Structures are given as C-alpha cells and as structure tokens.
Amino acid sequence: MDNELLKQCMDVAQVWATSEIFDPQTRAEVKAMMEDDDKSMLIDSFYQTLEFGTGGLRGVMGAGTNRMNIYTVGTATQGLANYLKKNFADREKISIVIGTDCRNNSDVFARRAADIMAANGIYVYIFDEMRPTPEVSFAIRHLKCQSGINITASHNPREYNGYKAYWEDGAQVLKPHDKGIIEEVEKCSYEDVKTGGDEKFIITIGEEVDKAYLDAIKTLSIDPEAIMRQKDLGIIYTPLHGAGMMIVPQALKMWGFENVHCVPEQMIKDGNFPTVVSPNPENAEALTLAIKLAKEKNADIVIASDPDADRIAISCKNNKGEWAIINGNQTMLIFLYYIIKNRVDKGLMKGDEFIVKTIVTTEMVKKVADKYGIYMGDVYTGFKWIANEIKINEGKKKYIGGGEESFGFLAEDFCRDKDSPSACCLIAEICAWAKDQGKSLWEILMEIYTEYGFSYNKAVNVVRPGKSGADEIKQMMEDFRKNAPREIAGSKVVTYKDFRSLKAIEDGVEKDIVMPDTSNVLQYFCQDGTKVSIRPSGTEPKIKFYIETGAHFSTPADYDEACHEAEEKCAVIIKSLGIE
C-alpha cells in the first residue's frame, strides 16, 4: 500500500469526519471507512476530487471527495451558478432547467441544486417527476433558459449517479463554456456553497412541457399512412424502470400505434433496477423480460430505453423466427436508410440535408450518405458534438438525423441530445412501413447489407477500476501512441489518426486533422477495410476498443456465415492488439 497516499486520504477524511459542514450520516460513513482495516474504500473515496469534466460529474454515490453526494453536487452547482452570473451579467433574469432520472438520490441532488441556484438568484424550472434526458434538453430551448442540469448516470450500474450540465442551446456544454465552468467549480470550497434559496425562484414544470415535447415529436413521422394501415403492429416496450415510462407510451399512442404492451415489472420506478443485472440496453440481458413478453404476445418488435431514456435498443425476429438484438451500428443504419430513402421517395429532399455520425460509428453510414450526395459530419463520441454540428450548420443546411454506435439517435433539431422517445416512435414507424410491404425489420437490415456491403462491429471493454486502473488505462494509451501497429491481423495500417495531436499519417504522409478540439482517441484504418478505434471511457473506469471489419455477403442467406467469418477475424485482431 502507498503509505503517503493513505496518509493524504486519511487527512482529508478526518476533516469530513469531524467538520460540522458535513451532516451526521456523512460523518459516520467516513468514520467507518477510517476505522475499517481494509482501507481500499477510503482511498477510492478520497484519493482525488470527483472531476467536473467537460460533461459534468459521474461517479459512485457515497461519502468522500471522489463520490457523488450533496457536497460534490453543491460545489458543481455553485461553480455553474457563478459562471452563469458572469456570462449573463447583462440579463435581467437568468434561468435554468433541472431534470432527473429514476436513480437513487436523484431527487435529493436535484433539490440541492435547485436550492443553490435559487440562493444565487437564478430562476429554476424543475420537473415534478423524472423525465427523459432529451426532454430536459427540449425544455431549455422551449423555456428560453440559459442552462440546464440533468441528474442522471444514464446506463451506468445502480451505484452510480451523475450531473450533466447543458447550455442555452439545449446541448451539453462545449468550449469555451466547459472550461469556464470547470474553472469556477475548481475555485469553490464547500464553505462557498450558498443555500437557503427563496422558493419564489423555483418553478415546478410538467404537463405543459410534456405536451409541447410530444407535439414536436409527432412532427417527425414520415409515413403516417403506413402507421394507419399497420396500427395493430405488435410493440413491446420497456423503460428498464426509468424515465421513458413518462413519455414513450404516450408518444407511441399519439403516432397511432394501438397494440403497445409495456413490460409491467419494469414500468415501476426503481433506482435499484431489480429486474436486470445492468440497466444498460446495450446488454442483451436487459431485454430478457421484454423478449419473453414479445413471445407471449407474438409481437413484431421490442423497444427498450435506458434509465434516462436517451438510448434506444431494439429486437426483432430474424430470418429463423428467433428474437435477435439489433446493435447500435445496425440501428443507426436502419434509421438513416429509412429517413433518406423515404424523403427521396416523397420528394422532400432539397439538396441541403446533412447527417452526423461519431468517428467510432460504422463507416457504412458514409456509404449511404455518399450514394445520395448527402453531407455527413464525422464527430467525436458524445451527442454534444452532434449538437455542435447541428449548431454550426443551423440556417445553412437541414439536419435529418444523426447518432452513435452506443444506441443513441436524434432525428430532430428541436432538442440537442440523443432522444429515445422520438427514436422509439420512428423505429416503430419503420417496422410498420416494412410490414406494409410484407417485410420484417430484419429483412430491411438485410436489404441494406445487400445494397451497401456487409460490416461487422465489435466493442471490447477493458475495465480497470480505481486509481491503479486509471493509471493503467493512461499507460495503455501511451503505449499505443509510442508503438503504433504497422499492421493489424496481417493487414497493413494505411491510415493512423491521433486525435490528441490532431495528426494523421496516410500512406506515410503526415496530415493535419481538422476537428473543433482535441480528444484522447486513436484510430487505425487497414488495407483490407478493417477499422480500429481506441479511447478511454469518459464516464466509466474502462478503455474501449471499437473494431469494424467486413466479410463476404451477397444475399441474406450469407448473414450467419458472414458474422462467423467476421467474428473469427475480430478474434485475430484482438490478439494482434494484445488485449485478450
């Protein structure tokens, strides 16, 4: 054990255990950690201050400087308040939206943030109950607020919570505001946090914003006639105990779907997520109950949203009649294929349309865009970058859709974060459109592969928790930078990109990468079409490897063999990268 680190942690913990600033429960929790023979929990709770990063906070809940609690939420909120008052000093009124998901303590953290903002003379619009993340984004624009706070840890495990900061455009903060807020947060001590705000500054919101949001979502329907003909489409929906239950069933009904069944066990708000191992719809296990109900009801499609209802997961029957999960890259392809194809068929394309994907998302999206001559933005992971691309092109081009491989899609520009309520409705419409032609959603996916070629994507997550894990992840990235592979699984690396230095090497020639900021991401493009991306997670203690490769595919009958061939190739790639 590092004795110096332990002493530093004990010194900080002693302040938490004895100072009247902290409530009795917190002090007792810290004392218990200090007295425990195993000091690993103490060190992990106090070895650093939970970083207010460019997106806000996210961490395990509990006592300590490196935990999500009312004190770390307090300094974050006071810092944000200070920055808002500086940045909008000329405004007579500064206002902010606060929303929450279903997680334990989300309401406690939200009330704390509202009280602090009110104590700083900032008006707060706070939702009366949990709401989807995209509705918080929508509300900021709808109510003409200057900022927003969303208390959520998205799809992270149950012990986590988080704090997302938004700007007046409804997007998560970007530079210069992200750095400006961070500087203000870092200046704040626990003693600096103002509390006891006047209640007149706190306004509860709910149904009026719901109606405006639902009405806006309804405008996204491209083929309402197909829905009318297929209104009995069998839909199973689960919110995984989260915020989607507040909006998605209503939205599907408004679009005209009359045969929607919600998973009853998961329509109960519960931050402990008792029916799943993990509330992440990217994991097939999370859809177990929904697929069980789909079999009972002989449904056409299963739709799930994560706890804060920004991500969407779908499942449908494959060519064997078995329920199969459609992964995030496939979902993105289906959405854009449908939107573009149907806009073309209906004569809605004017030539100024654009779409956006993230750099780790399948390159198949570009093939679809290129066929129709549509501009495609390629941005960093995170919807704040997709929102930034929308902002850059506002008034110049028409945004028609964008997303990322991690099950996020945004079909509109009236909110600026990934939006599962609108995506749930749109995927149901796509399924209805397919059924109207005597096809299934699976057959639409096979049509895409037949037309554009087959692509297989695999994500490998190497989890390394705690301080030692963070150090190991940092070292892994440095090792890849110092020893960039010249070939991967026998195929020559023809393009190497380092988004931290914003330099690329293409066929031995160094070039600049044009991006709005730097990011700790590495990418390798191989001669055989393989693409590998490497990045540390910004929200979890892991480093992520994204692999994309191809295989022979002529007809839908080739799908299983193509997947097998690609999976075997991925195994070789993983071994080649040394991440077994």
Catalytic residues: 154
CA distance 251 to 211: 10
Q: Are 224 and 187 in contact (CB under 8 A)?
A: no
* Residue 362 three-state SS: coil
Angle at 566 between CA 561 and CA 567, to 5 degrees: 95
Secondary structure string (H, E, C) spanning 276-316: CCCCCCCCHHHHHHHHHHHHHHCCCEEEEECCCCCEEEEEE
Q: Are 61 and 104 in contact (CB under 8 A)?
A: yes
CA distance 539 to 520: 14
Q: Are 242 and 309 in contact (CB under 8 A)?
A: yes
Burial per residue of 389-426, b for 16 or more beta-carbon CB atoms within 10 angstroms, e otherwise: bbbebeeebbbbbbbbbbbbbbbbbbbbbbbbbbbbbb
Q: Which CA distances in Å does 62 have to 41, 157, 274, 301, 467?
A: 10, 14, 20, 39, 17
Q: Tokens at residue 142, please?
A: 């709808």
CA distance 84 to 181: 8
Angle at 302 between CA 309 and CA 154, to 5 degrees: 20
User: Which residue, among 51, 184, 183, 178, has the nearest Cα to 516 in the 3D structure?
Assistant: 178
**Block residue for tokens 């960093």:** 380
CA distance 97 to 416: 14
CA distance 437 to 435: 5
Q: Are 123 and 94 in contact (CB under 8 A)?
A: yes
Q: Where are the alpha helices (DSSP H) in 143-287?
A: 177-187, 207-218, 224-229, 248-255
* Residue 122 three-state SS: coil
* Residue 354 three-state SS: strand
Chain centroid offset of residue 252 CA: 22
Angle at 146 between CA 246 and CA 174, to 5 degrees: 90
CA distance 194 to 75: 9
CA distance 155 to 494: 36
Q: Which CA distances in Å does 500 have to 195, 477, 503?
A: 40, 11, 8
Q: Name the residue type at position 188.
A: C
